[in-house]
Amino acid sequence: MDLEGRTALVTGGSRGIGLAIAQKIAEAGARVVISSRREENLAQALETFRDQTMVHAVTAHVGSRLEADRLVRASIEHFGSLDIVVNNAGTNPHFGPLVDISDSQMQKTYEVNQAAILTHSAAAWHQWMREHGGVILNIASIGGLGPESGLGWYSVTKAAVIHLTKQLAWELAPSVRVNAIAPGLVRTELARGLWENNETEITSRIPLRRLGEPEDIAQMALVLVSDASSWVTGQTIVIDGGTTNQPTGGVG
């Protein structure tokens, strides 16, 4: 899983799963570009890398196609190539019944979680990967596999990510591989409200009896963006401690 000589872009790379993936890819020898809306978060993230000369930070808003084009262009200009794109950035401004979501919450979630997958993949394709090939990895969620209490619209956008992964894998083959990871509940700042006050109860229902850690997702991400998975495309890998692998309770 040597990534020496390759350049990777990780959106939402200043913390949580995105930062863990960026660090893991960097440890494998790749040059890494991390993006975030907040410059101060990027500055803190840069301090966590062993070799900061191989990491570049770009402030960008993933919900904008113009920003996606600029981010990809900046990555190529800085390191000379763009071989890997990890579409990790995500948001969830609404928790509650799907029918109560506001237009602004609905639009923001769509732009960041769903549309950004396409705009960043398209920018990478047109600016580099069409001629040189590459790998795209999307971060979905087990919420995209079925209903989720309180997370309805978030889950809808993550279901779209899973289908976008299949569609892009079909359209961009054979020069570009496209896969996704669907994490379960991971100990991140974005998900803090879901686990902070009831972690014991939640983990009792997970077969492996613990929450996921960003490192769990980063390990699989490294496999999927490397040549170790050179015959894998269009797939969504579930990493959830067994959460979705439970008896149905029915009588067979």
Catalytic residue among 79, 128, 153, 154: 154
Q: Are 229 and 223 in contact (CB under 8 A)?
A: yes
Number of H helices, E strands in the chain: 10, 7
Half-sphere exposure in the Cβ direction for 67 (13 Å, CA): 16
d(CA 217, CA 60): 23
110 is catalytic: no
Q: Where are the alpha helices (DSSP H) in the chain?
A: 16-27, 39-46, 65-79, 103-109, 116-124, 130-132, 152-172, 192-195, 199-204, 214-225
Residue 137, H or E segment: strand 134-139
Q: Which positions are catalytic?
A: 154
